[in-house]
A = this chain, B = another copy of it.
Amino acid sequence: MSHLKGNVLPDMPWQEKPANCRMPVWRYSENPIITRDAVPNANSIFNSAVVPFGEGYAGVFRCDSRSVSMDIFAGFSKDGIHWEISAQPISFEGDPEVTKREYRYDPRVCFIEDRYYITWCNGYHGPTIGIAYTFDFKTFYQLENAFLPYNRNGVLFPRKIGEHYAMLSRPSDTGHTPFGDIFYSESPDLTFWGKHRWVMGQITGDASAWQSKKIGPGPTPIETDEGWLLIYHGVINTCNGFVYRIGCALLDLEKPWIVKARSRNYILAPQELYECVGDVPNVTFPCAVLTDAPTGRIAIYYGCADTVTGLAFTTAEELLQYMKDYPLEETT
């Protein structure tokens, strides 16, 4: 029985769980699906987002160039696995004070009502959350930045909560932020934001050390009958740097700042060579999901080592059960 609401995508990318797999998430056998040079002059393609679009799929991709300039690019695919990514970055319509590009990275895409919203980490005298919408992934209209700097990982909910648009984000600082909690904010119009609520933070101590340094929201939250299923990243600080792993949580449907469950265990971690070796070793960073409501299938798109893009599979049931099998007692 599926717990998912939303899209019906019978042909979405999928592989069955391997027989001997003890984890709730399993990798696509042909990973990485997008290599670092799938776009001319790309240094790396990772931390990218996809959605169903027309007969197939569309996406917004972080492609760092060979000058290591960070920008976001539109792409299209028939099967969600093989992608045609534009060689030119997205350009935006809008107020020049806002559209003036400093840098753009780590996009998310979220369909709400009648259009596709893009959110990303947008340079405006420091990193903040850029917002834009498109109908066709060809013309993009940029809105005001959601927040004051310094912020990263702005993730919209796929429908209004009450009467307001809603977003998760991770307030940050100007550099390689050594802290990070997830907050929830609302907006009547996607321009003015307020009613900020703390959702959850790092887990200090030994209980769940993979998320002991900082956490941040990943793909668009997935609506289930039990709550919003949030896939997020968590970071530990080892003596040789950060390790980015993936976990999940269940947020209250109407008050999403209330955490109903949270994974004590990670659900995916850097273990394959393409996740452990690259421009930033030991990073798995999820930015998008495709879901199929009837079957409960979930395909997770995640960046690997800040270099390539991977695909992994799970189901809503797997994740919900995993949080029950390995509950996190304290969420302070």
Contacts and interface: CB of A to CB of B under 8 A. Distances in A.
B280 A239 contact: yes
B145 A196 contact: yes
B280 A240 contact: yes
Contacts of A240: 240-242, 280-283
Contacts of A176: 237-239
Contacts of A43: 210, 266, 269
A147 B150 CA distance: 11
A264 B103 CA distance: 15
Contacts of A277: 273, 276-277, 281
B183 A171 contact: no
Given A181-B125, A193-B193, A326 B67 contact: yes
Nearest to A239: B176
A201 B281 CA distance: 27
Nearest to A167: B148
Contact of A123 (B103, B124, B206): B206
Contacts of A317: none
A331 interface: no
A196 B22 contact: no
A195 B191 contact: yes
Contacts of A150: 150, 171, 173
A6 interface: no
A205 interface: yes
B279 A279 contact: no
Given A22-B41, A171-B149, A173-B150, A279 B278 contact: no
11 contacts: A67-B265, A67-B326, A68-B210, A124-B196, A147-B148, A148-B171, A148-B196, A174-B179, A188-B192, A240-B283, A277-B281
A123 B209 CA distance: 14
Interface of A: 22-23, 36-37, 40-41, 43, 65-70, 97, 102-103, 123-126, 128, 144-151, 169, 171, 173-174, 176-177, 179, 181, 183, 185-189, 191-198, 201, 205-210, 212, 236-243, 264-266, 269-271, 273, 276-283, 306, 326, 328
Given A239-B176, A240-B241, A207 B69 contact: yes
Contacts of A237: 176
A183 to B, nearest CB: 5
A41 B265 contact: yes
A237 to B, nearest CB: 8
Contacts of A69: 206-209
Contacts of A66: 23, 210, 265-266, 269, 326
Given A68-B209, A191-B194, 17 more contacts: A43-B210, A66-B326, A67-B210, A67-B264, A70-B206, A103-B205, A125-B183, A125-B201, A149-B183, A174-B179, A187-B192, A191-B195, A192-B194, A238-B280, A239-B242, A241-B241, A273-B277
